[in-house]
Chains A and B, each alone.
Chain A
Amino acid sequence: MFTLRIFFFLFLLGGALFANTPSQFKETRYSYALDKNISFEGFITFGEQNIVIEYSKPEAKVLTYFEEKLSIQDQNGFKMVDTTATPAIHYFFMIIKAIHDENSVLMDSFFDQKIEGKEAILTPKGVTAEILEEVRVKRNGKKLESLHVKIKNGDRITIEIVD
């Protein structure tokens, strides 16, 4: 569960980089377990108080994070998750906020950063290092171009901005 949440928020992290208006993204996950690439597409919006992620592919789903609560809406209905009971969610939500708010205090707490050209290479430290191998963030000015996450179990996540 712990690992799961970490990656959920790593995904959100990518979303957070998009900006305050809805941004289209394309995500490719490589699953080491299945030795397969899985593609997702959708839009993410950063609000003042919430984060909304709307998936269009492979299935239509809407995720909303608001005041420590996460809601998931799909064809099966509506589900609420109280994240206060799961500290790890809050812990890794930090990463999303850190990038969105350009909060270096937060980032420095969990990553060592190195800049190589347009790319920022984040090396996890502390608890983060237990799970992640490396995070690469590519920007063009303030605009994100791509996010690449290497996970210690062999999985990979690549997020690219479409527009």
Chain B
Amino acid sequence: MRSWTKYLNIIICVLIGTTFYLSRDSLHISTNLISFLPEGKNKEVFEIYSTFKTSKEVFVAIENFDKESLAKIKNIEEKFSSSGMLKLESNIAPNPNLIAYTKNNAFYLKELNPQSTATISERLQELHEKIMTNPYYTAIDLQDPLGYLKPNKQSIQLNIRDGHLALGDFGYLAVFSLNETFNTQEGYEKIYDMVHTELKGIEKVRVFSPAFYFVENANKIQDDVNFLIFLSTILLLILYIFIIKNISLLINTIFTLITSALLSFLLTSFIWNEVSIFVLAFGNAIGTLAIDYMFHYYFYGHYEGKKHFNTSVFYGFLTTFGGFFIFSFVDFPLIQQVCVFAMISLVLSYLQFVFIFPLIGFKKAQPFLKFHFSIPLPYRAIALLSLLGIIVSIPFLHVDTNIKNLDYQNVTLMQEEKFFKDNIKKEGYTPVLIEADSLEQLIARSNEIKNGFKNAMVPLSYFFDKAFYLQREKELVELDFARKKVQIEAEATRLGFRKDFFSNAYHENLLHPTYTPLDIKTLSSMGFDVVEKNGKYFTYGLVKSYEIDSLGKLNFAHSIDAKEIFFNSLQTIKHQLLLGGLLTVAFIISMLWLICRKTLALSASYVLLPTALILLLSLMGDFTIAHIFMLFIMMLFGIDYGIYMSSDDSFKDGTRSAILFSIVDTFAGFGVLVFSDIGALHSMGLVACVGSGAICLLLMGRKSF
């Protein structure tokens, strides 16, 4: 039996590894945090907005306004457009379909000013004088010679230099939209490569697109996670070589960790189509928690001979598992994935370390280091002071709900975004998604926002709905243009204008065009962003950020702000998070009471001190959901150590070493996350460092109960 059980662990690893390899095509890792937000309106809103061409526009600017710069930007426009990936957007040369529509509906698209005090005679006289004496050529608006109409004011003015779009005083600007088929992660990558290849070697050029975040952040996150896994693995390997000193056990431990990581990833992938890359980084660290079980069994001699079941380890496993189990019910895919991954990983590692490793059998070696050092610590006072610290800190706790702070802080790209937004004068605006049951209603609502918010910019408000059409038609009828036309002709002839020169003024076709409801195809051909999803119609607008709160009263407009969306998502699961937190705390208290009643102050201090220190950390800055989540995990770690230390065996040399190595190991596993550039992982690493440090300090103390 011994001959094959020796390889049992490796056999399991090979089997799982083979399954993993065969299933590799169906496994998808995602670096996009938004896709792991709770399902619901907020996420839907964000996803719909991301399908609009305006959400992923590519901006290119060439410095200076000279011949060379213009030639460069024109060349770039040509190259990008001919790539088939991007389409040049130019409001300077309006869309031909839009021009035609505007011509036919001019009297309904412009602002009507019926209060003109000038008489027909005075107005025509003025035109006559302008033609004769104006230093610049005067063209007459033959449709509206009396000037009843004026163009609607635009909130964001186009900046034009030399007949080309300009970016403030910087230089020429070109704006491109993504061709529909390229609005995917793969598409963004192809566009990113094409853009950077084409711009290579061109001096004084600046480029930005929101799509670049998806490419650069994904690469950065991928590199960051790979680095963390590598660093953590190296650190742990060094640590294990020093601690375990048994090469066979070390190899088996590595196989166990690989097996549990692969199986956890496989099973998590069966539940979710995409697994967040953050889960991988976190999952790697979870392995260091599972290895604690091995330390205890190894140093306590379970792998050398038959011993009674180690209840401390079981309770430690149970509390950690229980904590993740409670949080797995929170309706937040990212948290759920982490919890499910951790639970599978913990169960598998526990089963292998507790039931398979004793079958294989390993000889215990003395570690290089032994921990005899201890300092007297008043655990009761520590527990009480920590409790006080927690009570004092909680009211000052401010939760940062900006999801961007959980993501990789791509400072370079953020600077480019700000540069373009500042110069296009779009800084200070928040995108808004407008929703309606019909296109007619969507146009009406777009106009409602345009009129209700002083500086709002809503492209679809260019159009009018049936109600507006009827109202404007009534106003035009009241102006009695038929009578005015007769007067115009008479006055014009008197003043010397050519006969019938104004015959097309205020023409019936313009005063009463046929009202034709617009459809998505027509709007799209005119360059407007409208989508239909499940019978609902959506478009977008820009509203000044300081006015965004007033948007709340309109149930058809949703702000597209990562911070807002994450905040709203959190609001929808707030009660679940609160319940999860309370249940975890209740679970920890019950475990303390049930298992560590005799050593309550000592064991409780392992939970209270890390919690207090972590909460005090919150006074130095904002706390994200990653901090909070890791806080609960550190509380669960803490209770593990409280349980281990409550055992009478805790002062035995092997157990003490196992406990201390465990925390050093946890520090190496989770602590390395502090080196991450990704907000969520860095926060978790920071919390882990503080928590592990606190536990480490407590482990140095003497038993004082």
Contact = CB atoms under 8 A, between A and B. Distances in A.
Given A7-B137, A53-B135, A126-B93, A90 B160 contact: yes
A94 B162 contact: yes
Contacts of A97: 162
Contacts of A66: none
Q: Which of the four size classes fits the interface of chain B?
A: 35 or more
B163 A38 contact: no
Given A31-B131, A33-B501, A34-B496, A106 B163 contact: yes
Which of A63, A87, A95 gathers the greatest number of chain B CB atoms within 10 Å? A87
Given A33-B501, A34-B128, A38-B132, A4 B159 contact: no
A59 interface: yes
Interface in B150-170: 151, 157-164, 166
B140 interface: yes
A71 B497 CA distance: 30
Contact of A105 (B67, B92, B132, B161): B67
B309 interface: no
Given A31-B131, A61-B135, A72-B135, A1 B498 contact: no
Contact of A40 (B92, B135, B162): B135
B627 to A, nearest CB: 47
B71 interface: yes
A109 B163 contact: yes
Contacts, number: 101
B74 interface: yes
B131 A87 contact: no
Interface string A88-106: 0011111101100101011
Nearest to B158: A87
Contact of A29 (B71, B94, B99, B137): B137
Interface of A: 1, 3-4, 6-8, 10-12, 29, 31-36, 38, 40, 53, 55, 58-59, 61, 63, 68, 72, 84-85, 87, 90-95, 97-98, 101, 103, 105-106, 109-110, 126-127, 130, 151, 153, 155, 157
What are the 10 tightest A-B residue pairs by CB atom distance, in nearest-first order?
A94-B163, A7-B137, A90-B160, A8-B136, A3-B139, A94-B162, A91-B163, A87-B158, A4-B139, A87-B160
Given A61-B135, A84-B159, 20 more contacts: A4-B137, A4-B139, A8-B136, A32-B501, A33-B497, A34-B128, A36-B132, A53-B135, A58-B133, A84-B157, A87-B92, A87-B157, A87-B158, A87-B160, A93-B163, A94-B163, A98-B162, A106-B70, A106-B163, A127-B92
Interface of B: 67, 70-71, 74, 91-94, 99, 128, 131-133, 135-142, 151, 157-164, 166, 496-498, 501
8 contacts: A34-B128, A38-B131, A87-B92, A97-B162, A103-B67, A105-B71, A109-B74, A153-B139
